[in-house]
Structure 1
């Protein structure tokens, strides 16, 4: 089992402090940990759309996950602060991965599903 790479990126308008990066990485890793052995890489991008002007839901957190042997999946969470945006994006990603991996698992166990007509 290889370890999942994690990359955190931010633009200059978001406080790119180590603390924010650590907090968000811990939050995203925790939410996606059950998929870690099936992901090669997770990238988190945090941006402040309005910069200094402020505005509702102007913090965006985009998470791109790369499942082993499959195309990357991207989701974006939008909120008033970066932690909330990261939480929304991580939850959305977990749901998306659950659907993808769950579907693959169902098909692996049941190659010819009974169709009701």
Structure 2
């Protein structure tokens, strides 16, 4: 599985270490790694919250072999938390798609 991490121009290097994000995604999606050709991660800075903690958005899109792409996103405080949440959501969505394909 090829992992591509993109971030918007408002995020700083200290907020999102791309190598660490890539490793987190590979670990989280390891159980479907042999069934997916590519995973794209898009990180973005959403806004500053009232507590001066920046909020982030993470969108994860996986491209399974012979199926349409499956995507999910999450928002929250902390890059690691939103990446984990988005990966968990995309795994759930992937399982639904594969389950529907198996039922046919």
TM range (shorter): 0.7 to 0.9
Q: TM (normalized to structure 1)?
A: 0.75
Choose 1 or 2 for highest CA Rg: 1
Aligned positions of 1:59-74 closer than 5 A = 59-74=56-71
Structure 2 match to 1:75: 72
Q: Secondary structure at the match of 1:49?
A: strand
Q: Which has the larger helix fraction?
A: 1
Gap regions ≥5 residues in structure 2: none
CA contact under 8 A between 1:60 and 1:79: conserved in structure 2? yes
Q: Which has the larger strand fraction?
A: 2
For residue 9 of structure 2, the aligned residue among 9, 12, 27 is 12
CA contact under 8 A between 1:10 and 1:16: conserved in structure 2? no
Structure 2 match to 1:115: none
For residue 88 of structure 1, the aligned residue among 39, 64, 85 is 85
Residues in 2 aligned to 1:65 and 1:92: alpha-carbon distance in whole angstroms? 11
1:18-39: CA deviation from partner (whole Å, max 9, x where unpaired):
x711221111111111111111
Gap regions ≥5 residues in structure 1: 112-117
Q: Secondary structure at the match of 2:27?
A: helix
Point out the more displaced range, 54-63 or 38-47.
54-63
* 1:15, distance to aligned residue in structure 2 (A): 2.2
For these two proteins, the number of residue pairs brought into alignment is 100
Q: Tell me, yes or no, if structure 1 residue 33 matches structure 2 residue 27.
A: no
* 1:79, distance to aligned residue in structure 2 (A): 0.9
Structure 2 match to 1:99: 96
Q: TM (normalized to structure 2)?
A: 0.83
Residues in 1 aligned to 2:59 and 2:10: alpha-carbon distance in whole angstroms? 15
